[in-house]
Homo-oligomer: A and B are copies of this chain.
Amino acid sequence: MDSRGQSAQQQAAAQRRRQLLEAAERVVLRDGPGASMNAIAAEAGITKPILYRHFGDKGGLYKALAKRHTDALLDALRAALDAPAERRARVEATLDTYLAAIEANPQVYRFLMHPAEDAAPLDQSFDIGRHSAPLLRRLGEELAKVIEERIDLGPDGGQRARIWGHGIVGMMHAAGDWWLGERPCARQELVTTMADLLWGRLASAADRPGGPGF
């Protein structure tokens, strides 16, 4: 074996795989998540069966395609989360990083959030959320880990941290999705307002005069 522990053939195969993934990405960006395997193969200058040899099935291709972006996003978020600053600043930086990413290329993140409903016809077992949004799950778990490591939440803190992790990620995602569709305000304002929500301003805000509180 050579210095990297793989033969020249394996290396060539890996490079080919990268080329195919790039072609697939071009097509998905152009045609949306419903892009067909035929279209992807054509873009790569080949035909379907070799795609299947490399990636098994469409899910495999999409998973490989997703991995690169999720890893990149996760790295960026971890960096924001680990920056040397006080808690509020970190939260805002993390939110802003996420929003900047989805703003930069929305198609990619639409694809990541809704990756190919497969729905095996004979699968009796009900698998809610397994294919729904793996990226969100990963983000939630990751955030939960950071929260648990850094904040003292008393007994059962692990449980609380996970709930908060998934909850905050969901908040970020839903608000970001809505914002991206309507663009009702600047990114900074969205970030500040969401951080305010996490800082308890919903609880401390005054009732509107003349009605029962929310």
Within 8 A of B (CB), among A177-195: 177-181, 184-185, 189-190, 193-194
| Residue A1 is within 8 A (CB to CB) of chain B in the complex | no
| Residue A164 is within 8 A (CB to CB) of chain B in the complex | yes
Within 8 A of B (CB), among A129-182: 129-130, 132-133, 136-137, 140, 146-147, 149-153, 159-160, 162-164, 166-175, 177-181
| Residue A2 is within 8 A (CB to CB) of chain B in the complex | no
Nearest chain B CB to A158 CB, angstrom units: 10
Within 8 A of B (CB), among A193-214: 193-194, 196-209, 211-214
Q: For A109, list chain B residues within 8 Å (CB).
A: 128
This chain's copy number in the assembly: 2
| Residue A110 is within 8 A (CB to CB) of chain B in the complex | yes
Besides the known contacts A151-B208, A159-B193, 11 further A-B residue pairs in the complex with CB atoms under 8 A apart: A32-B126, A34-B117, A86-B213, A87-B213, A117-B117, A129-B180, A140-B174, A150-B207, A159-B189, A167-B171, A199-B203
Selected contact of A119 from candidates B32, B189, B193, CB within 8 Å: B32
Selected contact of A150 from candidates B180, B181, B197, B214, CB within 8 Å: B214
Q: Say what secondary structure dominates the interface of chain A.
A: helix
In the assembled complex, the Cα of A110 lies from the Cα of B163 at a distance in Å of 20
Selected contact of A129 from candidates B149, B166, B171, B181, CB within 8 Å: B181
In the assembled complex, the Cα of A188 lies from the Cα of B190 at a distance in Å of 30
Selected contact of A128 from candidates B81, B106, B147, B190, CB within 8 Å: B106
In the assembled complex, the Cα of A211 lies from the Cα of B113 at a distance in Å of 33
